[in-house]
Amino acid sequence: MTLTIPALRARGAKRRRRRPLAVTLAIAFLLAAAATGALAPLLAPHSPDATSLLDSLAPPGTAGHLLGTDSTGRDVLSRLMYGARLSLLAPLGVVLLSGVLGTALGLLAARAGGWVDAVLSRLMDIVFAFPSLLLAMLVVAVFGPGLTAPICALAVSYTPFLGRVVRSVAIQEGARPYMESYRAMGFGELRTTVRHLLPNMTPVLLAQSALSFGYAMVDLASLSYLGLGVRPPAADWGSMISQAQSAILQGAPGSGLIPGVAVLLTVVSVNVLGEHIGGSIARRGEGT
């Protein structure tokens, strides 16, 4: 294939055809996380919201509470399972929204050129310069807590993250001779862009989306941690960490560490997977 990030390609070539262990682990972890989230009502041993002050701050490994309990005696495992729903879906929403917006704007800027490009690029620079978390907090302050507003806000602030990359790659890819040959075959700009340019940018899109998924997850967790995201008692990993603050000070770090590790593993898995997909698509056309 034609395009691409040199780092992806170099690493891809070394890996050859066998799927590396890290990728297998990442896929397994993500599938497991998604499955537990989807099947939480069946799998969870307790209700995620059932408090039991007598059992509060049980350490991991306690009978009946495999991962222990938090400061109000809620089962950490059950909350972790239910929390997977919001914690995975919300960043996915951000990625999809910003992906569509960023790709559309980036392609438009690259293909239209001239003043359209200048205006769009400067707009993206402005949004890019604005801290995403600050924007999300402003939006929450205006529209009240809940997930919809921060998802939209984060999507907007992540748009340049993808849009600028899409623009530069599209300019580079659009200058390739095959684009000219399709033009010579009488295909319009829209058609060549959507049917040829866009598919050839998938590796970059995927890699970049995976990165922004990680950022979105951390940002949303931060919002929840600040009490601006998910409304209690609904569980998500960020709010679980936030609510575990006092417990950590009391010497029971489990209820905070466990969702923290879940966030960490998810972000790492998505990045590993994104990079792998990007690399294998880049390899496919090269015939190695």
Partner 1 sequence: MTVLEKESAIRPDALGIDGLTLGIGSGASAVPLLDGVTVRVGRGETVGLVGESGSGKSLTARAALGMFPRGARATGAVTVAGVDVLAAGRAALRDLRRTRASMIFQDPRAAINPVRRVGDYLTEGLRARGVPSREAAATALELLEQVGIRDPRGALRRHPHEFSGGMLQRVVIAGALSTEPDVLLADEPTTALDVTTQAEVIALLKEMQRTRGTGMLFVTHDLDLAAAICDRVYVMYAGRIVEEAAGTALFSAPAHPYTKALLEASPPVHGDRTEIKAIKGRPRSLAEAPSGCAFRDRCPLAGDDCAASVPATRAHGTSAVACVRPEEVAR
Question: Is 180 a residue that touches partner 1 (CB under 8 A)?
Answer: yes
Mark residues 246-285: x for contact with partner 1 by CB under 8 A, - for none. --------------------------------------xx
Q: How many of the chain's residues bind partner 1 (CB under 8 A)? A: 23
Question: Is 200 a residue that touches partner 1 (CB under 8 A)?
Answer: yes
- Residue with Cβ nearer partner 1 (47 or 181): 181
The SS3 of residue 224 is helix
* Selection from 66, 22, 21, 16 nearest residue 270 by Cα: 22
How far apart are alpha carbons 96 and 100 in whole angstroms? Answer: 6
Q: Which stretch binds partner 1 (CB under 8 A): 180-188, 207-215, 232-240, 255-263?
A: 180-188
Question: Is 17 a residue that touches partner 1 (CB under 8 A)?
Answer: no
| Residue choice 17, 63, 186, 251 for contact with partner 1 (CB under 8 A) | 186
Closest distance to partner 1 from the beta carbon of 15 (Å) = 19
- Residue with Cβ nearer partner 1 (127 or 198): 198
| Residue choice 61, 64, 131, 199 for contact with partner 1 (CB under 8 A) | 199
Long-range CB contact pairs, 245-254, < 8 A, 24+: 246/71, 247/57, 247/70, 247/71, 250/57, 250/71, 252/57, 252/59, 252/68, 252/71, 254/59, 254/60, 254/67, 254/68, 254/76
Long-range CB contact pairs, 61-67, < 8 A, 24+: 67/254, 67/258
Task: Supply the angle between the helices 21-38 and 76-112 in degrees, to the nearest 10.
Answer: 110
- Residue with Cβ nearer partner 1 (186 or 251): 186
Residues that bind partner 1 (CB under 8 A): 1-2, 176-178, 180-188, 191, 195-196, 199-200, 284-287
